[in-house]
Amino acid sequence: MTVRIAAVLAAGLAALAGCARGPIHGQLTLPGQRPQSVAMRYESSLFGKTGKLFAELPDGETFSGPYLLDPSAPDRTMISTLAGDRGNSMVCRFLLNTPGIGPDGGGRVSCQVSSGGAFDASF
């Protein structure tokens, strides 16, 4: 009985831990190429102050990195640096619709890819 209760509690905590998540659809513009549709993903923590961002470029390079919000800050900006699995990076600057609310609340993002190119989206 104790094992079942512990399993149910663990499952409940796991469900709470993976709070909001979703895609951010945008356009990737690479030098000398036509813009391409790319989706970034986000996963926010239980209370939404932190989370992770993920992206995969058309060439297969994947990027991931954390974000941190300051809910007491009056501005609506958030900056995150994502590391690529091939040594590149993406620096993303968000203008959020609501201060202290992460990607769940919508906004705009512009990311610069260290190998050249940019990702832009409104979500």
- Sequential pLDDT tens for the chain (123 residues): 654 554 444 444 444 445 799 999 999 999 999 999 999 999 999 877 899 999 999 999 999 999 998 777 778 999 999 999 999 999 999 999 988 888 989 999 999 999 999 999 999
pLDDT for the residue 44: 93
Length of the chain equals 123
In a domain, 92, yes or no: yes
Task: Write the CATH number for 60.
Answer: 2.40.128
Task: State how many domains the chain has.
Answer: 1
> Which range marks the domain in which residue 108 is found?
19-122
In a domain, 8, yes or no: no
Q: What is the pTM of this model?
A: 0.81
In a domain, 39, yes or no: yes
